[in-house]
Amino acid sequence: MTKVVTDVVCPFCGTLCDDLAITVSDDGKQIIDCQNACAIGAEKFLHTSAGHGRITRPRKRQPDGSYKEITYDEAIEYTAQMLAKAKKTLWYGWASTSCEAMAVGHKVAEKAGTMVDNCATVCHGSSLLAIQDVGVPSCTLGEVKNRADRVVFWGCNPAHAHPRHMSRYSIFPRGFFTTKGHKGRKIIVVDCRYTDTAKCADEFIQIDQSYDYEVLDAFRTVARGHDIPDVVGGVPKEKIIKAVETLKEGRFGVIFFGMGLTHTLGRNHNIDIAINLTRDLNDFTKFSIVAMRGHWNVTGSGQVLSWQYGFPYCVDLTRRTHARYQPGDTSSVDLLRRKEVDACICIASDIGAHFPIEATRHMAQIPSVCIDPHINLTTEISDVHIPVALVGVEVAGCAYRMDNVPMACRKVVDPPEGMLTDEELLEKVYVRLCEIMGDS
Amino acid sequence: MKTVTITMKNVPDLYLEGDMITPDQFAGKTNEEIAALRTYEGRETYCLGDNFEISGDAVGATPAETKIIVKGDCTKVKYIGMNMTAGEVVVEGSCDMYTGGWMKGGKLHVKGNVDSFSGLGMEGGEFTVDGNAGNFIGASYRGDWRGMQGGVLRVKGNVGSDIGTFMNGGTLIVEGNADVHIGTHAEGGTIIIKGNANRRIGGQMVKGTIYVYGDITYMMPGFQYTKDVELEVDGDKAVFAEYIGDLGERHSKSKGQVVYGKIYRKK
Ligand code: SF4
Q: Which domains does chain A have, with CATH numbers?
A: 3-46 (no CATH), 59-123+296-437 (3.40.50.740), 125-291 (3.40.228.10)
Work out the number of other CB atoms within 10 angstroms of the CB of residue A436. Answer: 15
Q: What is the pLDDT of residues B134-143, one digit of tens each?
A: 999 999 999 8
Distance in Å, alpha carbon of B177 to nearest chain A alpha carbon: 17
**Are A154 and A190 contacting, i.e. CB atoms less than 8 angstroms apart?**
yes
Half-sphere exposure of B32 (CA within 13 A, CB side): 0
Q: What is the pLDDT of residues B175-193, one digit of tens each?
A: 999 999 999 999 999 999 9
A209 touches B at CB < 8 Å: no
pLDDT at A51: 64
- When computed from its CA atoms, the radius of gyration of chain A, rounded to whole angstroms, is 23
* Cα(B267)–Cα(B215) distance, integer angstroms: 10
Q: Do A326 and B141 touch (CB under 8 A)?
A: yes
Contacts of B224 in chain A (CB under 8 A): 226-227
pLDDT at B8: 97
Q: Is residue B125 part of a domain?
A: yes
Query: pLDDT at residue B57 above 80?
Result: no
* Cα(B78)–Cα(B94) distance, integer angstroms: 11
Q: Is residue B226 part of a domain?
A: yes
Contacts of B247 in chain A (CB under 8 A): 221, 224, 226
* Cα(A370)–Cα(A61) distance, integer angstroms: 12
Local structure of residue B103 (DSSP, 8 states): -
Q: Is residue B45 part of a domain?
A: no
Average pLDDT over residues B227-242: 95
pLDDT at A440: 63
**Are A112 and A84 contacting, i.e. CB atoms less than 8 angstroms apart?**
yes
Q: What is the pLDDT of residues B218-232, one digit of tens each?
A: 999 999 999 999 999
Q: How far, in Å, are A245, A326, B40, B53, B137 from residue A311 at the CA level?
A: 37, 10, 22, 37, 23
Q: Is residue B211 part of a domain?
A: yes
Q: Is residue B182 part of a domain?
A: yes
**Are A388 and A76 contacting, i.e. CB atoms less than 8 angstroms apart?**
no
**Is the CB of A16 inside a 6 Å radius of any atom of ligand 1?**
yes
Distance in Å, alpha carbon of A48 to nearest chain B alpha carbon: 40
> Judged by CB atoms within 8 Å, which residues 342-401 of A form the interface with B?
342
What predicted TM-score, i.e. pTM, was given to this entire model? 0.95
CB under 8 Å to B150, separation ≥6 — which residues?
A: B122, B123, B124, B169, B170
Q: Which helix H or strand E contains A41, and what residues bound it?
A: helix A39-50
Q: What is the pLDDT of residues B101-145, one digit of tens each?
A: 999 999 999 999 999 999 999 999 999 999 999 999 999 999 899
Q: What is the DSSP string of A149-173?
A: SEEEEES--HHHHSTTHIIIIISS-
**Distance, C-alpha A273 to centroid of its chain:** 22
Q: What is the mean pLDDT of chain B?
A: 95
Q: Do B117 and A133 touch (CB under 8 A)?
A: no
Question: Among A95, A43, A44, A18, which residue's Cα sits nearest to residue A393?
Answer: A44
3-state secondary structure string, A341-384? CCEEEEECCCHHHHCCHHHHHHHHHCCEEEECCCCCCCHHHCCE
Q: Is residue B33 part of a domain?
A: no
Q: Is residue B96 part of a domain?
A: no
B227 touches A at CB < 8 Å: no
Averaged pLDDT in 10-residue chunks for chain A of 440 residues? 93 95 90 94 85 85 94 97 97 96 97 96 95 95 96 96 96 94 95 96 96 97 96 97 97 96 94 97 97 95 96 95 95 96 96 96 96 94 96 96 96 92 97 90
Q: How many domains does chain B have?
A: 1
* Cα(A281)–Cα(B252) distance, integer angstroms: 19
Average pLDDT over residues B223-248: 95
Query: pLDDT at residue B216 above 70?
Result: yes
* Cα(A325)–Cα(A290) distance, integer angstroms: 24
Q: How far, in Å, are A420, B101, B171 from residue B189 at the CA level?
A: 57, 17, 6
Confidence of residue B1 (pLDDT cuts 50, 70, 90): confident
Q: Is residue B64 part of a domain?
A: no
**Is the CB of A17 inside a 6 Å radius of any atom of ligand 1?**
yes
**Is the CB of A163 inside a 6 Å radius of any atom of ligand 1?**
yes
CB under 8 Å to B27, separation ≥6 — which residues?
A: B59, B60, B61, B62, B63, B65, B66, B87
B246 touches A at CB < 8 Å: yes
Domain that holds residue B155: 116-266
* Cα(A427)–Cα(A256) distance, integer angstroms: 38
Of A229, A280, A328, the CB nearest to B136: A328
B40 touches A at CB < 8 Å: yes
